Structure 1
């Protein structure tokens, strides 16, 4: 008999957790589970990629509202109040939207849905949460020890990096709690990345090769530090170091970062492409991949850069030392504007210093593969 699984996530917008969940679902055997995917908001670039056999349900429909325009306020307020009511009275959600279905597994695909899943009226279900971020450092809320302890209400806590695993392990009160914490590498389809990187792009879609170019890919949130990247870019240009920057991604900070680009007078040397379902030809064309993040959980985008054998400059955030083998596979810099400046300046003044990373990358094999990651999560589901 198939296990009935409820997976919850905010939406399927262009974020790392959303991409990882989509990859996971695409690689599950079709006949093994009965899955309902419940979205708070039916929107996002990854919606078309969800397999047809997965049943998609939602609380609200339409695009995410990221502005406070007067005409948008009533709809925004309705969504917030409606979701709040369903959170306070989960019986309504489970009886009306989920039609009284009894699930074997309830799965919070992001940490923000912790309480929604833990407060489920289905007491018999086993509960799983997937932690994608360092909870000590988030844009909206820094979690205390006491708040992180509440995640031990789950039967399994999937974490994506050694640093996050250590944080949870230090807070576990006994062996039984420690056993709930499982480190899982994010499912990443390296074959798809290599295949897509060879897709044809018109000349204006890839970075020009006349001067050194840097690429950064990610959701345009404060977390990603694109403001720091632009300020460093401007400083280096003022010092006479010619180079280009390309940012691929979208998010609620997009207009703010685009405005900053104009304020700094760097519109001609910085391109903001927005979301792309295939950024890999641009990855391939770039000289350097730069991660300017203020914090991360385990930046999967670095594995994409490693797959394409890119020169990497990355701030010293959670997961980076683990992924770059403590600096063997790429340049790790201080998590600050000054750190990013020093890293980019080194690339522009001493490009030969990156040859050692290329030597290491020649024979580097990923510490996981897609099949192993998917099988590891399936094993957890099957054994609960």
Structure 2
């Protein structure tokens, strides 16, 4: 059996973390002995992963510590972020693995890229457009250092062709690249979506839903601006935002200041977001940048029409507006797109049918098999 290590910063509930969980649970257990290691023991998938593979973390969950332990934790965390990556690797990973995978950009990629195990195959996963959103640069001294880390890998996987193109444009690396779409468990999603929601008020017109971390990347600040305009236009609709993140209080303040409580509901993090998507009339992706959007894929699996901004992976998912409505990636264009969608019942019916048509294309077995060939 091959010993495979996946390293990730945390399992905090984002799309990459969910996809990793689906991937690990579908890899052939007779071929691979899998370890998932996170930097911090935070997330919603930890217990489940521990039941199907070896799961461990370098640091504990900060929320479980007392005041003194939290101070020590803070010191350790800051030291880890500053220490040489090669030294950290040798300290973190005493066991020898046949395959070592950095499953997220940034810190995890830097650590595995400095592996002291000369016999392992090293794979980096890229989930986002690093040309449009070069968020990983804070982990490195300069662009050259980051490029050199990637050159230490045997293979670099991107989750969409557009993500791969952006990666090559950023780092000038054109070899050892491949595209592997996210493995998503279609049957599991459909099963979970069947469970009815409790204590949900009747719909107020068309119900829009979006799912994601409450961070700048997801564009919920501009989505609320659009909601305000659409309400002023007289449209009868509501928006559910499912997720949590650092912008929570900012979004709450905007909703309060602009009297949007009757339109917008922040649903918080949900272990089963598919119930919420299933109970909606359409899915909205307002992201400033993406890789290959897990939540848009899930919305299509559930047969929901999609309105999305034009970021990486969207044309691969939705075609040239064939399976969903793609707008330019700015506030005004998304506003116009949503206004058109809310105004035109025939358009909503059309994209509902096209979404159902696209739904059958997501075969997790074929995708996992192609990833196993890489390992």
So what's the TM-score if we normalise by structure 2? 0.90
Please say if residues 315 and 334 of structure 1, whose CA atoms lie closer than 8 Å, have aligned partners that are also in contact: yes
State the alpha-carbon separation in 2 of the partners of residues 297 and 258 from structure 1: 27
- For 1:122, the equivalent position in structure 2 comes to 117
Q: Any idea what the Cα deviations from partners look like across 1:344-374, whole Å, max 9, x if unmatched? A: 2112222222333234334335444111121
- For 1:227, the equivalent position in structure 2 comes to 221
- For 2:127, the equivalent position in structure 1 comes to 132
Q: CA deviation at 1:35?
A: 2.3
Q: CA deviation at 1:323?
A: 0.5
- For 1:330, the equivalent position in structure 2 comes to 324
State the alpha-carbon separation in 1 of the partners of residues 119 and 134 from structure 2: 34
5+ residue gaps in structure 2?
A: none
Q: In the alignment, is residue 291 of structure 1 matched against residue 285 of structure 2?
A: yes
| Equivalent of 1:305 in 299, 324, 340 | 299
Distance 1:92 1:164, change over 3 A: closer
Please say if residues 41 and 62 of structure 1, whose CA atoms lie closer than 8 Å, have aligned partners that are also in contact: yes
Distance 1:138 1:370, change over 3 A: same
Please say if residues 324 and 354 of structure 2, whose CA atoms lie closer than 8 Å, have aligned partners that are also in contact: no
- For 1:209, the equivalent position in structure 2 comes to 203
Please say if residues 234 and 266 of structure 1, whose CA atoms lie closer than 8 Å, have aligned partners that are also in contact: yes
| Equivalent of 2:339 in 329, 334, 345 | 345
Aligned residues: 368
Q: Counterpart of 2:16 in 1: which secondary structure?
A: helix
Matches within 5 A, 1:216-295: 216-295=210-289
Q: CA deviation at 1:44?
A: 0.4
RMSD: 2.6
Please say if residues 169 and 181 of structure 1, whose CA atoms lie closer than 8 Å, have aligned partners that are also in contact: no
Please say if residues 305 and 355 of structure 2, whose CA atoms lie closer than 8 Å, have aligned partners that are also in contact: no
State the alpha-carbon separation in 2 of the partners of residues 330 and 162 from structure 1: 19
Please say if residues 317 and 335 of structure 1, whose CA atoms lie closer than 8 Å, have aligned partners that are also in contact: yes
State the alpha-carbon separation in 2 of the partners of residues 349 and 9 from structure 1: 43
State the alpha-carbon separation in 2 of the partners of residues 160 and 351 from structure 1: 33
5+ residue gaps in structure 1?
A: none
| Equivalent of 1:80 in 77, 80, 94 | 77
Please say if residues 12 and 18 of structure 1, whose CA atoms lie closer than 8 Å, have aligned partners that are also in contact: yes
- For 1:189, the equivalent position in structure 2 comes to 185
